[in-house]
Amino acid sequence: MLSDAGVLNAWHELGMKRKDIERLAHFAYHPKDIAATIASGSYLTEGMVIAPCSMKTLAAVAHAHADDLVSRAADVVLKERRRLVLVPRETPLNLAHLRNMVAVTEMGGIIMPPVPAFYAQPKTLDDLVEHTVGRMLDLFGVRSAKLKRWQGLKRTPAEPD
């Protein structure tokens, strides 16, 4: 599901149109399609990731304000006690943002800011994105071969060069 604001964003940042992104997915739903399968708890899913998650959609999820398919599907995932992961994209945060993150966490959702993992020593932006996506998939028990897992320090600063 790509929101209308998400379409603007994808166009500005990636030069991609809705169709370009939907073509990458096995299933695509329009956010206005409130009668889609995922709007009902009887339709089985493992859960849902909203990535990136705007502060507006975070607010909608935190307050069960399910006025489009994104917020309704997230509402369903929470009520069915399935896995919900929100990847917020905003900084700095105001008190409403923080309170909404607490509310979602209290309901069992996971707030996962896409914080760059510098310990994995990324060389490119793709490395950073792959790491975040790998950690996101971990939350669903899906293991990505591309994820560089922490193996401990190779050398300690106390060791001679």
Residues that bind ligand FMN (CB under 6 A): 3, 5-6, 8-9, 12, 54-57, 89-90
Q: How far is the CB of 60 from ligand FMN (least distance, A)?
A: 7
Smaller CB separation from ligand FMN, 65 or 82 = 65
Q: How far is the CB of 12 from ligand FMN (least distance, A)?
A: 4
Smaller CB separation from ligand FMN, 32 or 149 = 32
For residue 126, the number of C-alpha atoms closer than 13 Å in the C-beta half-sphere is: 1
Q: What is the helix, strand, coil percentage profile of the chain, to 5?
A: 40, 10, 50
For residue 42, the Cα-to-chain-centroid distance in whole angstroms is 23
Q: How far is Cα 119 from Cα 25, in angstroms, rounded to an integer?
A: 31
Q: How far is the CB of 35 from ligand FMN (least distance, A)?
A: 18
Smaller CB separation from ligand FMN, 71 or 135 = 71
Q: How far is Cα 82 from Cα 89, in angstroms, rounded to an integer?
A: 22
